[in-house]
């Protein structure tokens, strides 16, 4: 089967076509006004495949830009302001002008029902027919297209929510009105009112938008012969169109999830089991630590709102190739989070008027104007020079020759510091040592900066995949099809017996498998993964603790689970409280329809008849402490063969990315044509010849 992975990013749309084990790639500028336009263009260039796996920013952008569907919130009396109140977190302790993002549902579209279910599932105030009639009459007067239903404690007893959904559906059919309904007992049957309300609202807010996008895209692809369409989900799996329309909130981290799957796939083939994925694109950088398995979480934030759905544990900073550099009111140099995006893009793309990280790399010679996108898109050096001279004047107050390169070096240093801080957040701040990991660098700009970050963090190996600029799209091809179901338990572990737990798992597995079947997957080919969110009694946060396969046959299965939780807690927080009782908060069951491992045919390379030599020597500065340009070898990646070795300083160019090997670094090519960069120890002096 021919499969096409498509990742729509903020600047470029990336394509990877896997046909009979052979990879073909393509990149084109994104079309923010209509993302499908760039997508269809790429399909027409590459030829229609049998199947498409698509990472989309449609749901994400709708939430970030507050351009979702007109959404109403139906909740219990007294809880209409949950979205506005939120949590008392203070992410910026010293910011005196903190403002919360506007909630997706305005005050006028929040409806409070007179009803009340208690935490144990008993009903304190029944939901009357008169209340339902009052709700329906109100809905009929509102110009809305989507409804989020989130009643108090519906994760324990969903009867009231089910009645509300039935009444709304009946009223919509009678009025011949299309009304998308998102109910919390279906979206997130878990405690914590704010997170449950927020996630249900987000789903209601973005699902009609993604649904309309898929309604336009689906026929365009099927008309071209595409037989199967899947959407990349935030948890590192993919989903069919039925699930994507019902649970669009699962796609809010669609593209970054594909990148981690791709990095993990390539790293395992190369023999690495512990990696930090470093995905630097046009608008942001995404990092994650993978230790033997993809890092999953149910805690993510998008657009200032918690989305408590399964997702990969990704940390994002607003530092990408298109991040805009500026001097703030205090005279300090700032980079991002604002981005030039795809339109107008960096100044060197020909339309932008503000300095960006990409322009800085061009002025430093790290990007070469004639080698961008394989020479298909020539970068405008003069335009980059102009915008950086203005930035240099703001920084230094002078207009001397070379000031623009000094400013460019400063911009790259600031961007590197932001990305280094992000990597420390997912490693050092969690008790993990980044020096034990390989840094997998990808995205259009990742290989430009990877060696400098590795040097700052003490990382000894940088892996640059064969196709780093489109790795997220490759990861989408490798992604399994997944669906998760959850159930709140809220009981101590010693009060839970193995038979009851097994019954809960069986019920949730049936639910998840039925959802996969609705997406066209064969349930007989699926397997089940189980996780319990556990905490010590009295804690307000949980740790996901996996249930190993065959757990029920162990002599003391729940005792084994408790010991696993103690070990996880000690690793994360430095201590365990084995005398404290453990509480089981939520059971999560994940159904997985696996995709076969990427079977990549070896590239047919002509034998080398002459020694590897650089294609040219170009003017560049690859050190971190000077802006002076020096002659630097430039290599074409297509010239490289397994076993080749290059010593820095060197620039390696290819269609989808540029890799920088600073002085003191060695690059070797492995059997899959990945680049493995390692620092020399001890490093030779800049004038010393490379070892023979």
Contact 41, 28 (CB under 8 A): yes
pLDDT of 692 above 50: no
Contact 460, 485 (CB under 8 A): no
pLDDT of 470 above 50: yes
3-state secondary structure 68-92: CCCEEEEEECCCCCHHHHCCCCCCC
Distance from the first to the final alpha carbon of the chain: 46
Residues near 318 by beta carbon (within 8 Å), at least 6 away in sequence: 283, 284, 336, 337, 338, 339, 418
pLDDT of 607 above 90: no
Question: Which residue would you say has higher pLDDT here, 550 or 270?
Answer: 270
pLDDT of 201 above 60: yes
Most confident of 7-11, 375-379, 438-442, 516-520: 438-442
pLDDT for position 60: 87
pLDDT for position 688: 38
pLDDT for position 457: 95
pLDDT for position 220: 93
Determine the Cα–Cα distance for residues 493 and 561; give it in Å rounded to an integer: 9
Question: Which residue would you say has higher pLDDT here, 65 or 386?
Answer: 386
Look over the chain and give the mean of its residue pLDDT values, rounded to a whole number. 91
Confidence of residue 39 (pLDDT cuts 50, 70, 90): very high
> What's the predicted TM-score (pTM) here?
0.89
Per mean pLDDT, which range of 128-142, 157-171, 271-285, 299-313 is the poorest?
299-313
pLDDT digits (tens, 9 = 90+) for 96-140: 887 788 899 999 999 999 999 999 999 999 999 999 999 999 999
pLDDT for position 687: 38
Residues near 589 by beta carbon (within 8 Å), at least 6 away in sequence: 484, 485, 486, 505, 508, 509, 511, 512, 528, 529, 530
Contact 313, 349 (CB under 8 A): no
**118 DSSP 8-state letter:** -
pLDDT for position 89: 77
User: What percentage of the chain exceeds 90 in pLDDT?
Assistant: 74
Confidence of residue 689 (pLDDT cuts 50, 70, 90): very low
Contact 348, 359 (CB under 8 A): yes
Confidence of residue 551 (pLDDT cuts 50, 70, 90): confident
pLDDT of 686 above 90: no
pLDDT for position 682: 57
Place of tokens 């923010």: 32
Chain-centre distance for alpha carbon 352: 26
pLDDT for position 238: 93
DSSP secondary structure, 268-329, as one string: HHHT-SEEEEEEE-SS-EEEEEEESS--EES--EETTEE--S-EE--EEES-STTEEEEE-T
Confidence of residue 690 (pLDDT cuts 50, 70, 90): very low
Tokens of 440: 């997998």
3-state secondary structure 168-182: HHHHHHHCCCCCEEE
Confidence of residue 683 (pLDDT cuts 50, 70, 90): very low
pLDDT for position 685: 42
Mean pLDDT of 278-288: 91
Contact 283, 61 (CB under 8 A): no
pLDDT digits (tens, 9 = 90+) for 571-598: 888 899 999 999 999 999 999 999 876 7
């Amino acid at each position: 089967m021919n499969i096409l992975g498509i990742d729509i990013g903020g600047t470029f749309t990336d394509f990877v076509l896997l046909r009979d084990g052979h990879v073909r790639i393509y990149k084109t500028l994104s079309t923010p006004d209509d993302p499908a336009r760039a997508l269809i263009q790429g399909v027409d260039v590459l030829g229609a495949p049998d199947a498409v796996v698509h990472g989309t920013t449609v749901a994400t952008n709708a939430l970030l830009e507050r351009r979702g569907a007109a959404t109403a919130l139906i909740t219990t009396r007294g809880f209409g302001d949950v979205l506005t109140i939120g949590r008392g977190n203070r992410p910026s302790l010293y910011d005196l002008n903190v403002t919360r993002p506007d909630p997706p549902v305005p005050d006028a579209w929040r409806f409070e029902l007179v009803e009340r279910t208690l935490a144990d599932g008993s009903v304190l105030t029944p939901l009357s027919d008169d209340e339902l009639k009052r709700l329906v009459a109100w809905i009929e007067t509102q110009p809305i297209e989507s409804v989020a239903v989130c009643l108090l404690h519906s994760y324990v007893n969903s009867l009231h929510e089910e009645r509300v959904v039935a009444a709304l559906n009946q009223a919509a059919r009678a009025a011949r009105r299309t009304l998308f309904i998102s109910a919390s007992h279906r979206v997130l049957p878990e405690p914590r009112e704010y997170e449950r309300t927020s996630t249900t609202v987000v789903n209601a807010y973005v699902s009609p938008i993604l649904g309309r996008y898929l309604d336009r895209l689906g026929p365009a692809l099927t008309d071209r012969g595409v037989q199967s369409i899947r959407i990349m989900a935030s948890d590192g799996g993919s989903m069919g169109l039925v699930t994507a329309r019902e649970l669009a909130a699962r796609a809010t981290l669609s593209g970054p999830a594909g990148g981690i799957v791709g990095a993990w796939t390539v790293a395992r083939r190369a023999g690495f089991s512990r990696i930090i994925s470093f995905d630097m694109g046009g608008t942001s950088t995404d990092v994650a630590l993978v230790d033997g398995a993809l890092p999953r979480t149910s805690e993510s934030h998008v657009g200032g709102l918690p989305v408590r759905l399964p997702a990969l544990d990704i940390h994002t900073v607003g530092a990408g190739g298109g991040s805009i550099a500026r001097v703030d009111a205090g005279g300090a140099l700032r980079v991002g989070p604002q981005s030039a995006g795809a339109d107008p893009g960096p100044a060197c793309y020909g339309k932008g008027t503000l300095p960006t990280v990409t322009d800085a790399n061009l002025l430093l010679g790290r990007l070469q104007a004639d080698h961008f996108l394989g020479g298909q898109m020539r970068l405008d050096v003069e335009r980059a020079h102009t915008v950086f001279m203005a930035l240099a004047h703001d920084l230094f107050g002078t207009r001397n020759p070379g000031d623009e390169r000094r400013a460019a070096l400063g911009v790259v240093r600031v961007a590197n510091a932001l990305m280094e801080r992000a990597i420390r957040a997912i490693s050092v701040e969690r008790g993990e040592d980044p020096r034990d990991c390989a840094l997998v660098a990808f995205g259009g700009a990742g290989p430009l900066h990877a060696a400098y970050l590795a040097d700052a963090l003490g990382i000894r190996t940088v892996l640059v995949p064969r196709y780093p600029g489109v790795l997220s799209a490759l990861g989408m091809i490798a992604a399994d099809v997944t669906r998760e179901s959850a159930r709140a338990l809220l009981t101590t572990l010693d009060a839970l017996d193995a038979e009851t737990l097994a019954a809960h798992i069986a019920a949730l597995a049936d639910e998840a498998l039925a959802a996969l079947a609705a997406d066209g997957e064969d349930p007989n080919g699926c397997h089940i993964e189980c996780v319990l969110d556990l905490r010590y009694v009295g804690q307000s946060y949980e740790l996901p603790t996996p249930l190993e396969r065959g757990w029920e046959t162990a002599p003391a299965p729940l005792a084994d689970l408790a010991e696993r939780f103690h070990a996880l807690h000690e690793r994360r927080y430095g201590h365990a409280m084995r005398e404290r009782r453990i509480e089981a908060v939520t059971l999560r069951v994940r159904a997985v329809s696996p995709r076969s491992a990427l079977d990549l045919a070896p590239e047919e390379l002509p034998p080398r008849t002459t020694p590897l030599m650089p294609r040219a020597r170009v003017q560049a500065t690859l050190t971190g402490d000077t802006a002076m340009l020096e002659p630097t070898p430039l290599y074409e990646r297509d010239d490289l063969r397994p076993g080749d070795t290059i010593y820095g300083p060197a620039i390696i160019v290819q269609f989808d990315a540029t890799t920088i090997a600073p002085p003191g670094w060695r690059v070797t090519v492995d059997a899959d044509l990945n680049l493995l960069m390692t620092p020399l120890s001890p490093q030779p002096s800049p004038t010393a010849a490379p070892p023979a």
